[in-house]
Structure 1
Amino acid sequence: MGSIPKKTMRAQQYDQRDNKLHLNEIPVPEPREHELLVKIKCASLCHSDVMLFEPNEQNLILGQNPVTIGHEACGTVITTGSSEAAKKFKVGDGVGFLCAVDCCFDCHNCRNVHNAWCVTGKAKMQGFSVDGYFQEYAVVDARAAMVLPEGLDVKAAAPLFCAGVTAYHGVEDCELEAGQWVAVIGCGGLGHLGIQYAKAMGLKVIGLDIAEQALEQAKKCGADHVFNSIKDKDWKQKIMAITGGGVDAAINFTASKRSYDDCPSIIKPGQGLLMVVGIPREPLQLNALDIALGRYRVKGSNNGTCYNMRPAIEFSAKHNIHPHMTKFKLEEVPKMIELMNSHQAQGRMGVVFD
C-alpha cells in the first residue's frame, strides 16, 4: 500500500476571483479505493491550461475554486487504493495517466467517445474542475493510468499524456497511407510531436507556423517543407505546387480561427480532410456548400481516453518519439504561461520536481 509522506504540499492554483495563479500550501490528498497517490515527477503546460485565464466560447467547465492547474504529468506511485485496478500497480512504478475522474470508464461513451460524455454525467477533468498536476502529489484514477514502457523517462514523458496522445491520434485518425501529404498547422507543443508521428508513419509533412523558432523545430523533427504563413505571402500557392493539388489532410493544432479559415485552400478537393484538434476561442465557421459538395471532409480526433492512450504511448516508445521540453521550477509556472501566450515557447514546457 505504501504511506503518505507528508500532510501538505505546494500547488500552483488558479483563482477565478482575480484571474491569477497563486502558489498555495494545500493538503496532500488521500487516494480513494480506485485511485493511486502519485509523486509528480514532471508536469507540463498545455494550451488548454492557459484557456482558464481567457474569455472563451468553448464550454470550458470549471469547478472548485481555487483549483490546481495542469493535466499532463508523470510520476511514481506512492500508495494505492484497494480496488482490483489500483492493486495492479506497485509502489515505485513510474506511471503516466489521463485526467478524467469520477466517470464510469465502462459505458459506450467512455469506451468509444470520450470520458467527458460519460452517461453518469459526473465526469470531471483534473486541472479544471478538480485539482490537477502542478503540485507535488496528486491522486489519479488507476483505470486511466499505465506503467511507462521501457525507454520513456518519468521526468520527461509528461507531455505524451495529453499532447502525445492527442497528436498521435490527430495523425492516425486521418487514415492516410505512407507517401501521402499532411499539413501540420502549428508546430509547437502539439505540432512538433505530430510531425514526428507523421514521419514515423511514412507521411510527407508540411509544417506551418508564424513563429520562426517553431519552424526551425519542425525541420529538426523531420518536416519536408515549412512555411511562415505571415511572412511568406505565396505559401498557399507553393503548397499546391509541391503537393500536386493540395494536401491529403490538414491537421490544425492551433487555437487560431484564422488558421482554420485558411485550411480549405490547401486541401486536395474531393478527398482531402480537415482534422480539428486545436480549440480557438471563437466557434469555427465552415462553408456549408463546401461540405455539401464534397470539397473537403471535416473530422475531429479524440484527445485521449484510457482505451486509446496505450497505443499512442507504446508507439512513442517504439519509434523513439520524445517531446522537446524546456524545464522550469514550480514557482515559474506564471513565466511558462507568459512564454506560451507570446509564442516564444519551443516544444513543451514542464516543471520537473525533485
Structure 2
Amino acid sequence: MRAQQYDQRDNKLHLNEIPVPEPREHEILVKIACASLCHSDVMHFEPNDQGLILGQNPVTIGHEATGTVISTGSGEAAKKFKEGDGVGFLCAVECCFDCANCRTVHNSWCVTGKTKIQGFSLNGYFQEYAVVDARAAMVLPEGLDVKTAAPLFCAGVTAYHGIEDCELQAGQWIAAVGCGGLGHLGIQYAKAMGLKVIGLDIAEQALEEARRCGADHVFNTAKDQDWKKKVLEITNGGVDAAVNFTASKRSYDDCPSIIKPGQGLLMVVGIPREPLQLNALDIALRRYRVKGANNGTCYNMRPAIEFSAKHNIRPHLTTYKLEDVPDMIELMNSHKAQGRMGVVFD
C-alpha cells in the first residue's frame, strides 16, 4: 500500500510502498476512507521542546481518520466490529485502557508506561490501510459520513472538550482564540451549548469561517488595535473562558487581559513551540484559572461524537489526494487553509 512517511534523516515526507498490516488479537484492520491533517502532524518538521515523541523511522504521519472495517482480530473487543462497519478511532495504542489514568486522564499517562501514538511513534493514517486498537474505536453514529467525519476524531473530540470542560452555563461568554481547523469546530460546539462566542484570529479567512459557524463577534487581533478593549466592553468585564486553539505563544500571552477576573478560565488546547509563561501571582490571586483539553480517551470520545451527530456539527473539510499531503502542510504553515484538510481515499 502507499503511505506518506516522515523521514528524520532529511526532515521530509516520502510517498512509500509498505506492507498492509495484519491485525493482532485486539485490533481491527481498517481501510482508510479519510485522513485529515492536524497541526500536531506539522510538528514533525519543526524544532519543538513540548514533548513530541517519535519512534520508528520512517513513520507514516497522521493521527485523525475514519474508515471501513476489513477484518478483525480474534479478541472480544475486536469481535464487536464486523466487516463493512464505518468506524472512527483514537490514536493511542499499546496502553492498558483500564487504569485510572487511561480512564479519566489520557492514555499517554498509562501506568504501564508503554503507550505509543500512531502517526508519531508508530505508523499513522496517511496510508491506505491501518490497524487500530478496537478498544479505542467506535461505529459511526447515524448521520456521520465515513468520508467526511475524520476530523471529529481528534479535532472534534478536542474542540468539544475544550468547550464542554469549561463548565459554563448557556448565555455566558467564551472566546475562541484561533478559528481555523480546531476553532471552527469549537465555535459550533459552543453555539450548540448556548454560549455567546467571540472569535479571535489573525487570518481573515478564518474569521469568515467563524462568522459562518455562528460567532457573535469576531476580531482580527493583528489589525484591530483596540480588540482587547472591545472584548471587555462587549462582555462587561471579560469572557468567562478563553479557549486557545492556536500554536501561538503570543496569543497565550494576550489571553489573561480579556478573561473576567475571579472564576474566569484559560483553556489550553494548542501547543506552541515554546513553553508557556504564566504569572504565578495572577494564578495565586485568582485573576484566572488554567485547565487543559485534548483528544481525550476512548471513554470521553463517544459523548463528543454523539453530540456532533445530534447537533449536526460538521467540519469544513477540503479534500486532497494522498500525493498532495506536502501541499496541505505548506497551506497550513502559511495560514491559508480554511477549516480542516483531508485526504479522501478511493
TM (normalized to structure 1)?
A: 0.97
Contact map agreement 2:153 2:295 (CA 8 A) in 1: no
- Pair 1:200 & 2:192 matched: yes
Q: Provide the residue aligned with 1:223 in structure 2.
A: 215
Give SS of 1:207's match.
strand
Moved more, 53-62 or 293-302: 293-302
Residues 49 and 70 in structure 1, CA contact (< 8 A), matched pair in contact too: yes
Structure 2 counterpart of 1:187:
179
1:14 aligns with one of 6, 19, 31: 6
- Size of the aligned set, in residue pairs, is 346
Percent identity over the alignment is 87
Residue 272 of structure 1 corresponds to which residue in structure 2? Answer: 264
> What is the RMSD of the two structures over their aligned residues, measured on CA atoms?
0.4
Equivalent residue for 1:339, pick from 322, 331, 342: 331
CA deviation string 1:79-118 (max 9, x = no partner):
0000000000000000000001100000111001110011
The Cα shift of 1:303 comes to: 2.2
Distance in 1, matches of 2:242 and 2:314, equals 23
1:327 to 319, 325, 337: 319
Q: Is the 8 A contact 2:92 2:107 kept in 1?
A: yes
Cα distance in 2 for partners of 1:302, 1:254 equals 13
AA in 2 matched with 1:327: T
| Structure 1 runs (4+) greater than 2 angstroms displaced | none
Report the counterpart of residue 281 of structure 1 in structure 2.
273
- Provide the C-alpha distance between the structure 2 equivalents of 1:108 and 1:287, rounded to a whole number of angstroms: 31
User: Which residue pairs with 1:5 in the alignment?
Assistant: none
Q: Say yes or no: does 1:353 pair with 2:345.
A: yes
Q: Superposition pairs for residues 1-354 of structure 1, below 5 Å?
A: 9-354=1-346
SS across alignment from 1:49: helix
Are the equivalent residues in 2 in contact too, given 1:179–1:202 (CA < 8 A)?
Answer: yes
Question: Is the 1:178–1:202 contact (alpha carbons within 8 Å) kept by the matching residues of 2?
Answer: yes
Shift of 1:302: 3.6
Counterpart contact for 1:113–1:302, Cα < 8 Å: no
Structure 1 residue runs without a partner (length 5+): 1-8
Q: List per-residue Cα deviations over 1:217-256 (Å, max 9, x = no partner).
A: 0000000000000000000000000000000000000000
How far off its partner does 1:301 sit?
1.6
Q: In the aligned structure 2, how far is the partner of 1:287 from the partner of 1:194?
A: 27
